[in-house]
Amino acid sequence: MHIYEGFLPWQWCVFWYALAIPVVVYGIIRIKKVTDEHPESKPILAVSGAFMFVLSSLKLPSVTGSCSHPTGNGLGAVLFGPAVVSALCVIVLLFQALLLGHGGLTTLGANTFSMGIIGPLAAWLIYKGWQKVEGSQEAGGFILVGIFFAAFFADLLTYVTTAIQLSLAFPIPTFESAMLKFMGIYAVTQLPLAIAEGILTVVIFDYIMKLRPDVLDKLGVLELVKKVGKIEEPKETV
Amino acid sequence: MDTKIAILLVIAAAIIIAPLVLYNGLTEEEGFFTGSDGQGPEYLEEQGYEPWIEPIWSPPSGEIEVLFFSLQAAIGSLIIGYFIGYYKGLARRREDEIDEEVSQAKGK
């Protein structure tokens, strides 16, 4: 999903920056707010960022015969909302743009828009919808199905967004045919990897859920209090 | 580790291993296993597009690139492992405390 340095005309760079900056700023405010209100959620915030770091560094083979990397953006979106992921995403993308020559500074806005905004937004909406489904909060792994689809679509839609961004900038010869070409390169390759990412997100979410249900409850990810009353918190001394 | 997690991890591994088995013997030279991130720009260059700006720095060789990718994965894994371990420790200590309280109550 990384659009390389120089591979977007400057007008489009400005356009995507203009869309991404307000969301990233809002994300930074959200991080400040959530860590002030619930300092005990800081480790989980760190894990969400780290999850993106790991997953986006792994270039995996796909059944199409190409390689691509997952994004890791679904986990943070479900836990903290999409704007927080936008801010975390900038850190990941900067690391890759500066040290790996992967992505770029001029295309940072566009790449943040796909991986940090559209993907996480999709995950968040899907999960919020899932929470409303009757019985989705019951034990027995039903909630994990929602997590899977949230992460799956976050990953896939990140790449679909990249394909749309390139088709808008390079409608050769038409937008539709460019879209077909870029969707073939990005989105089709991504399908099996999005499934793998969905599974890995379920695994790590399951860990967090078992170890700190109290924090997830405060973040509004689980609605336990309504069901079982107050949850005991483990004592923390750092 | 519970069975559900183990099964999920096996499925994820199978999804990643399948292409390697499927296209065994084929390499980059036949156009296999190149990155989709690179294919986009490659296609655009075929269409005659030239990037208008170069990255300010990019890894001088594949080895250096691998170094930084590994570093990225290592930093991420370290943070995840550290906090999951920390949480496990907290949970363990809490169990011990409860056990102790129970045994003390019994002693009285």
Residue numbers in B near A65 (CB within 8 A): 19, 23, 26, 31-33
Q: Is B8 in the same domain as B33?
A: yes
Residue A91 has pLDDT above 60, yes or no: yes
Give the pLDDT band (50/70/90) at residue B48: very high
Q: Is B44 in the same domain as B77?
A: no
B29 burial level (CB within 10 Å; 0-12, 13-18, 19+):
exposed
Q: Is B105 in the same domain as B60?
A: yes
Residue A138 has pLDDT above 80, yes or no: no
Q: Which of B26, B53, B80 is the endpoint of a domain?
A: B53
User: Among A63, A182, A199, whose Cβ lies nearest the Cβ of B40?
Assistant: A182
pLDDT at residue A229 in the model:
56
Q: Is B61 in the same domain as B108?
A: yes
Closest CA to A190 of A223, A144, A152, A218: A152
Q: Is B18 in the same domain as B43?
A: yes
Q: Which of B53, B74, B94 is the endpoint of a domain?
A: B53
Residue type, A26: Y
In this structure, are residues A184 and A142 in contact, taking their beta carbons and an 8 Å threshold? Answer: no
What domains sit in chain A, N to C, each tagged with a CATH number? 10-228 (1.10.1760.20)
Q: How far is A132 from chain B (nearest CA, A)?
A: 25
Residue numbers in B near A61 (CB within 8 A): 16, 19-20, 23, 33
Give tens-digit pLDDT for A46-81. Answer: 999 999 999 999 999 999 999 999 999 999 999 999
Residue numbers in B near A4 (CB within 8 A): 37, 40-41, 51, 55
Q: Is B63 in the same domain as B30?
A: no
Q: Is B62 in the same domain as B47?
A: no
Give the pLDDT band (50/70/90) at residue A42: very high
Structurally, chain B folds into a number of domains equal to 2
Which is it for the CA torsion A35, A38, A43, A48, positive or negative?
negative
Q: Is B63 in the same domain as B104?
A: yes
Q: How far is B103 from chain A (nearest CA, A)?
A: 20
Residue A149 has pLDDT above 70, yes or no: yes
3-state secondary structure chain A: CCCCCCCCCHHHHHHHHHHHHHHHHHHHHHHHHHHHHCHHHHHHHHHHHHHHHHHCCCCEECCCCCEECCCCHHHHHHHHCHHHHHHHHHHHHHHHHHHCCCCCCCCHHHHHHHHHHHHHHHHHHHHHHHHHCCCCCCCCCHHHHHHHHHHHHHHHHHHHHHHHHHHHHCCCCCHHHHHHHHHHHHHHHHHHHHHHHHHHHHHHHHHHHHHCHHHHHHCCCCCCHHHHCCCCCCCCCC
Per-residue DSSP letter, B14:
H
Nearest CA in chain B to A55: B73
Q: Is B40 in the same domain as B64?
A: no
Q: Is B93 in the same domain as B105?
A: yes
DSSP helix/strand/coil, B35: strand
Nearest CA in chain A to B74: A54
Host domain of residue B26: 1-53
Residue B1 has pLDDT above 70, yes or no: no
Q: Is B32 within 8 Å of A235 when comparing Cβ atoms?
A: no
- Which pair of structure tokens corresponds to residue A108? 């940072």
- Inter-chain Cβ pairs, chain A and chain B, closer than 8 A: 177
In this structure, are residues A89 and A132 in contact, taking their beta carbons and an 8 Å threshold? Answer: no
Q: Is B32 in the same domain as B48?
A: yes
**Dihedral (C-alpha) A207, A115, A181, B49: value to the nearest 10 degrees?**
-140
Q: Is B5 in the same domain as B29?
A: yes
Q: What is the ipTM of this complex?
A: 0.91
Residue numbers in A near B80 (CB within 8 A): 47, 50-51, 54, 204
Residue numbers in A near B52 (CB within 8 A): 6, 9-10
pLDDT at residue A136 in the model:
73
